[in-house]
Chain A
C-alpha cells in the first residue's frame, strides 16, 4: 500500500450532545477512490465536513500529507484549499459566471492572475464540454451541467483529496450518468477521492474500497466485491437488503 494522503484517527463529533461520529478511523492512499455508504444520519456528511475542517472535531487526529491539520495552530483556510469539495446541492455562486465560479479560488486563494486563471478555467470547462457556457450564469445550466461545473470548480486548484457529498442525490435520474462519468474519469486519472453516495452500482464499479457507516462507526470495509457480495456483518447485510428490495 502506498503512503496515505489522508489519515483520520479516532474521530469523534457530537451535535447537541448527540454523538454523530464515535471514533472513526480512516486511511486514504494516494490515487485511491473510496466510497462511503450508509443510511441518512449515519455520519457520512459529518465525517466529510470534519475532514476538511468545516466542522471542528471533538476528539481524534486528522493527518494530511504528514501534517496534523487538527492542530489548532494550522491555517484553516490554507488547509481547506487543499481539499476539493462538491456538495449535494451544487452550491455554485449564482451571481458569478460559470467561468468565475471555476476560477474564484485560483484567483482569490492561490493568487493566480486573471488571465492565467481564465485560461485554466476554460481548459477545464472545455474538458467537460461546457466551454460554450463559460460566460453564462449557473441558473442557465441543467442540474447535471451545474454539478459538473461544481466538480471542475473543486478540482481547479489541484486538491490533494476530492470529497464528494452525495453529489447525485439532487439530480433528475437522467442527469446522474453524466456526473458519474466525470467522477469515474477523475478516478481513472489518479485523483484521490472520498465520496458519500447512495449509488450502489456506481460505488461497486468505480471504488477501490467501500466503507459502510452506521451509527457513527465504520461497521465494515473492503473491496466492493467483498462488501457487496459477501458482507461479513449483520448490519451491513441488513442495509444492503433494504437497498436491493
Chain B
C-alpha cells in the first residue's frame, strides 16, 4: 500500500537532479575502474611473457600433457584431502567447543580444568602445525600401543584437530564472552542448569556472533589438510610430488593447487557474503 503510494509520487526536480548526478558519477567510476584493471592486467601479462625464461617456465609449470596425465592420481589424492577435512572439521567442532566451555567455567573448584584448557590452547597455538604433524605422526606410532598399522592420514587428522581446536576454542570463547550476562541470568531464573544454559542459550548465540571468524578458520584448514602429505599419506600434494618426479615437470603441483583453490572458493565467497550481511544488519540505516 505504502509502496504503491511512493511509486505514484513524482520526485521533486531537486531530487531528480541529484539522482541524475549520482548516476553520472557512478558511470564514470565504473568506467575508470574497468579501464585501469584491464591496463594493469595487460601490463603484467606482457611483462611475464616477455621474460627470457617464460617459455621454459610455461613448459615446466603449465604443460597440458602432464596436466592430463597427472589428473587421475592427483584427483584421487585430493579426495583423501576432502575426507581428512570433513573428519577434522567435525573433530575440531566438538573438541574446540569443549575446550571453550572448560575455559569459561567459574569457581575455584574448576581451576585445574581451566588451567589445563588454558595451557593446551597456549601450547597448540604456539606450536607450528608441521611440528605437531611430525610429533603425532611419528611419535605416537613409536609408542607401539598396538600392532595394527594406523594409516598416516589418521595421524594427520589427529594433528589437525589438536592444532585447530586450540584456535577455534579461542574464537568460540570470545563469542561466549560476548553474550550479554543478562541472558544467563534469564536462563538461570527459569531454572535451567548451568549446562543447559550453556547449550541452549549461550552457545547458539555465541556461535552466531563468531561465524565469520569460524569460517575463516575452516578455509585456513582446507589448505592445511595438504600438510598430511609430510607423513606419507598419498593426498593431492603427495600425488603431485610423485607425478612431478616421473614427468620432471611441476605442472602436477599447479594442478593440485588449482584443486585446493576450487574447493576453497565457495567457502570464501560464502564467508564474504555472510560477513557483509552481518555488517549491513548492524549498520542498518546508515550510509557510511
Contact B189 A108 (CB under 8 A): no
Distance from B198 Cβ to chain A, minimum over Cβ atoms (Å): 12
Could you say which residues of chain B place their CB within 8 Å of the CB of A157? 190-191
Give complex CA distance A170, B190 in Å: 21
Give 1 or 0 for each of B188-216: 1 = CB within 8 Å of chain A CB.
11111100100011001100100000000
Instruction: Decide: A153 near B190, CB < 8 A? Known: A95-B208, A108-B196.
Output: yes
> Could you tell me the distance in whole angstroms from the C-beta of A190 to the nearest C-beta in chain B?
22
Tell me the smallest distance from the CB of B228 to a CB of chain A, in Å.
36
Please, how many angstroms separate the alpha-carbon atoms of A40 and B248 in the complex? 81
- Tell me whether B182 and A89 are in contact (CB under 8 A): yes
Interface assignment of B261: CB less than 8 Å from any CB of chain A: no
Say yes or no: A95 contacts B205, CB within 8 Å: yes
- Residues in A neighbouring B192, C-beta threshold 8 A: 77, 104-105, 108-109
Q: Which of A54, A82, A89, A93 contacts B188 (CB 8 A)?
A: A54
Question: Contact between A93 and B189 (Cβ–Cβ < 8 Å)?
Answer: no
Q: Does A83 contact B (CB under 8 A)?
A: yes
Chain B contact patch, size range: 10 to 19
Given contacts A94-B205, A95-B205, A95-B208, contact A80 B183 (CB under 8 A): no
Query: A219 an interface residue at 8 Å Cβ cutoff?
Result: no
Interchain CB contact under 8 A, B191 and A54: no
Q: Report which A residues bind B (CB closer than 8 A).
A: 52, 54, 77-83, 85, 87, 89, 91-95, 104-105, 108-109, 153-154, 157
Give 14 A-B contacts (CB < 8 Å), ordered by A residue. Answer: A54-B188, A78-B191, A81-B190, A82-B191, A87-B182, A87-B186, A91-B183, A93-B183, A93-B201, A95-B208, A104-B200, A109-B191, A157-B190, A157-B191
Let me know if B190 and A80 touch, CB within 8 A: yes
- Secondary structure at chain A's binding surface: helix, strand, loop or mixed? loop
Q: Which residues of B contact A95 (CB under 8 A)?
A: 204-205, 208
Give the Cβ gap from A95 to chain B, nearest Cβ, in Å: 5
Minimum-distance CB pairs A-B, first 5: A81-B191, A91-B186, A85-B189, A105-B190, A109-B191
- Point out the residue from B185, B186, B191, B208 that lies within 8 Å of A77, measured CB to CB: B191
Given the complex, which residues of A lie within 8 Å of B183, measured CB to CB? 91, 93
Where chain B touches its partner, the secondary structure class is helix
Complex-state Cα separation, A52 to B192, whole angstroms:
13
Q: Cβ of B187: which chain A residues have Cβ within 8 Å of it?
A: 93
Which residues from chain B contact A153 at a C-beta distance below 8 Å? 190
Additional 12 contacts, C-beta under 8 A, given A54-B188, A85-B186, A95-B205: A54-B185, A77-B188, A87-B182, A87-B189, A91-B183, A93-B183, A93-B205, A95-B208, A105-B190, A108-B200, A109-B191, A109-B196
Which residues does chain B contribute within 8 Å of A154, judged by CB atoms? 190
**Chain B residue contacts of A85, Cβ below 8 A:** 186, 189-190
Q: How far is the CA of A231 from the CA of B63 in the complex (A)?
A: 97
Within the complex, the shortest CB–CB distance from B208 to chain A, in Å, comes to 6
Contact of A83 among B186, B189, B200 (CB under 8 A): B189
Please name all residues of chain B whose beta carbon is closer than 8 Å to the beta carbon of A87 when the two chains form the complex.
Answer: 182, 185-186, 189
Question: Cα distance A150–B55 when bound, in Å?
Answer: 72
With a cutoff of 8 Å between Cβ atoms, the chain B residues found around residue A105 in the complex are 190-192
Nearest CB to that of B206 among chain A residues? A95
Q: Which residues of A contact B191 (CB under 8 A)?
A: 77-82, 105, 109, 157
For B190, what are the chain A residues with a Cβ–Cβ distance below 8 Å? Answer: 80-81, 85, 104-105, 109, 153-154, 157
Chain A, residue nearest B180 (CB): A91
List chain B residues, Cβ under 8 A from A91. Answer: 182-183, 185-186
In the complex, A95 Cα to B188 Cα: how many Å?
17
Chain B residue at smallest Cβ distance from A150: B186
Instruction: Give the Cβ gap from A156 to chain B, nearest Cβ, in Å.
Output: 9
Contact B189 A77 (CB under 8 A): no
A93 to B188, CA, bound (A): 12
C-alpha spacing A85/B205, complex, angstroms: 21
CA A92 – CA B201 in complex, angstroms?
A: 10
For the complex, what is the distance from the CA of A80 to the CA of B191, rounded to whole Å? 5
B205 closest partner in A (C-beta): A95
For A79, the chain B residues whose CB sits under 8 A away are 191
CB proximity of A168 to chain B, nearest CB, Å: 17
**For residue A156, which residue of chain B has the nearest CB?**
B190
Q: Which residue of B lies closest to A81 (CB)?
A: B191
Residue of A54, A78, A92, A93 with most partner-chain B CB within 10 A: A93
Nearest-CB distance from A172 to chain B (Å)? Answer: 19
A1 to B54 CA separation, bound complex (whole angstroms): 100
Closest to A92 in B: B186
Using Cβ atoms and an 8 Å threshold, which residues of chain A touch B193?
Answer: 77
Residue of B187, B188, B190, B201 contacting most chain A CB atoms (<10 Å): B190
CB distance from B203 to the nearest CB of A (A): 10
Q: Which chain A positions have C-beta within 8 A of B201?
A: 93
